[in-house]
Chain A
């Protein structure tokens, strides 16, 4: 028995090293399953505060870019409103949408307090949380297009899985002819992503616009994702390899809107019902 203790004592450094590495690996592997609620929620509270104060200072440096982005978005929105004849030119100069319109989407504005583009799994931290109505799995739009999806929420902060995360993809389609596929990031360049599952017979052009398909309840249909930068047929594959230039400049994301789909519980319940029916999928 003593010799066992002595053995442990003599090798306590190696044993402690292996123990700590195992703890580290368990944390990394449990992360791989994407269910990390415990970790992120505990961290969002403490670190969110620090990031919040920090970004309050650094945001000043981005003001001119943000200003431009917001102005461009305003112009775009006004244009689409005009297209739908919702502005009554004669009565008022202020754009006005009837609040009771069937819109099941509700937008919560938020500010980015932490962001990264240089890792394989990038996340965005927002300065709003459960208190402001944000829940996990809500979509996040920047002024230029789709930015990500909410993964974890604390009381006053939330963590968003950025588009720039190799474990996430979004259902996308070609705006021109409605063929759909999935948009994934390959972890290489923060400006480009890949569109998969577009078969060879589809007619493509460089510069085609890619938008959300609206098949998931996370994003409404037609939110901008990017434009086709280049595409090629790879031997032995059934699908095009399409490189998409993302419409969002992830280095300059400052203000975002979180999408609350009011009809989502209804939709999810319905889809669950039909899945239970067949079970094989």
Chain B
């Protein structure tokens, strides 16, 4: 049990470092801002109590806020992700089928993981980008930013599943 927690602690440190030191430095254009750190919340065990998922989500987002000088922005967006995670898990797996304890690509297959992460990342990015501009002027410009960034984020997240978390 303790080993699992250490594993997740390392995962937390890893996703924060990748986000802050690599992806946040990738200044491609305003339209492509990939976010990776939500992977920590995506990969939490299915049996994690929901209140704990929420608290961890808020905390992870807040860590990113610390580095980007955006108080509350990532924290609020990730909390939303943490809240919709459980319904999405059941939605994607379909009624009656049992979900494996660890919602990773290896355990559930590419198709399952892709749908799971697209829905959650889209919810997160939608909230994040609209809260950042904080207005509906330029609605479509922000929408394009959301869609492009979601594609890139999901790509990075899925890629990481192939490269690093294979075992």
A16 contacts across to B, CB distance below 8 A: 51, 54-55
**Known contacts A25-B76, A188-B30, A190-B30; is-contact A119 B132 (Cβ 8 Å):** yes
Cβ–Cβ contact A31 & B70, under 8 A: yes
Q: Which of A3-45 contact B (CB under 8 A)?
A: 12-13, 16-17, 20-21, 23-28, 30-32, 36, 39-40, 43
- Shortest Cβ distance from A159 into chain B, in angstroms? 7
**How many residues does chain A have at the interface if contact means C-beta atoms less than 8 Å apart?**
37
Chain B residues bordering chain A, tally (CB within 8 A): 36
Residues of chain A contacted by B70 (CB below 8 angstroms): 31, 119, 121
Q: Are A187 and B67 in contact (CB under 8 A)?
A: no
Interface segment, one of B4-12, B21-29, B36-44: B21-29
Please indicate the chain B residues that have their CB under 8 angstroms from the CB of A46 in the complex. Answer: 66
**Partner of B83 from A17, A43, A120 at Cβ < 8 Å:** A17
List the A residue with the shortest CB-CB distance to B66.
Answer: A43
Contact partner of A13 among B30, B54, B67, B80, CB < 8 A?
Answer: B54
Chain B neighbourhood of A95, CB < 8 A:
none
CA–CA, A23 to B72, complex, Å? Answer: 8
Q: Given A46-B66, A118-B28, A120-B132, A39–B71 Cβ distance below 8 Å? A: yes
In contact, A118 and B29 (Cβ under 8 angstroms): yes
Is residue A54 within 8 Å, beta carbon to beta carbon, of the partner chain? yes
Q: Please give me the residue from chain B that is nearest to A36 by CB atom.
A: B71
Q: Tell me the bound Cα distance from A187 to B29 in angstroms.
A: 11
| Chain A residues with CB below 8 A from B141, complex form | 188
Shortest distance between the CB of A116 and any CB in chain B (Å) = 6
Cα(A36)–Cα(B71), bound, Å: 9
Query: Which among B54, B67, B131 is the interface contact of A47 at CB below 8 angstroms?
Result: B67
- Residues of the B chain whose Cβ atoms lie less than 8 Å from the Cβ of A233: none
Known: A17-B83, A116-B24. A24 touches B30 (CB 8 A): no
A189 at interface, CB cutoff 8 A:
yes
Does B68 make an interface contact (CB < 8 A)?
Answer: yes
Could you tell me if B30 and A12 are in contact, using CB atoms closer than 8 angstroms? no
| Measured CA separation A32–B29 after assembly (Å) | 24
B51 touches A13 (CB 8 A): yes
Verify if A58 is at the interface (C-beta below 8 Å from B).
yes
Instruction: Output the least CB separation between A188 and chain B (Å).
Output: 7
| Max chain B C-beta neighbours (<10 A), residue from A20, A21, A118, A188 | A20
Structural contact, B132 and A26, CB atoms closer than 8 A? no
Whether B69 is near chain A, meaning CB under 8 Å from some CB there, is yes
Q: Scoring B residues 94 to 109 as 1 if CB is less than 8 Å from chain A, else 0, what string do you get?
A: 0000000000000000
Choose among A25, A26, A187 the residue that contacts B30 (Cβ–Cβ < 8 A). Answer: A187
Q: Which residue of A lies closest to B83 (CB)?
A: A17
State whether the Cβ of B88 lies closer than 8 Å to any Cβ in chain A.
no
Cα A258 to Cα B145 in complex, Å, equals: 34
Contact call A32/B71, Cβ cutoff below 8 A: no
B24 surroundings in chain A (CB, below 8 A): 116
Q: Top 5 A-B pairs ranked by shortest CB distance?
A: A27-B72, A24-B76, A28-B72, A27-B71, A24-B72
30 contacts between A and B (CB under 8 A): A13-B51, A13-B54, A16-B51, A16-B54, A20-B79, A21-B79, A23-B72, A23-B75, A24-B61, A24-B79, A26-B72, A27-B65, A28-B73, A28-B131, A28-B134, A31-B72, A31-B73, A32-B134, A36-B71, A40-B69, A43-B66, A43-B69, A50-B20, A58-B25, A118-B27, A118-B30, A121-B69, A123-B69, A187-B30, A187-B133
What residues of chain B have their CB less than 8 Å away from a CB belonging to chain A? 20-21, 24-25, 27-30, 32-33, 50-51, 54-55, 58, 61, 65-73, 75-76, 79-80, 82-83, 131-134, 141
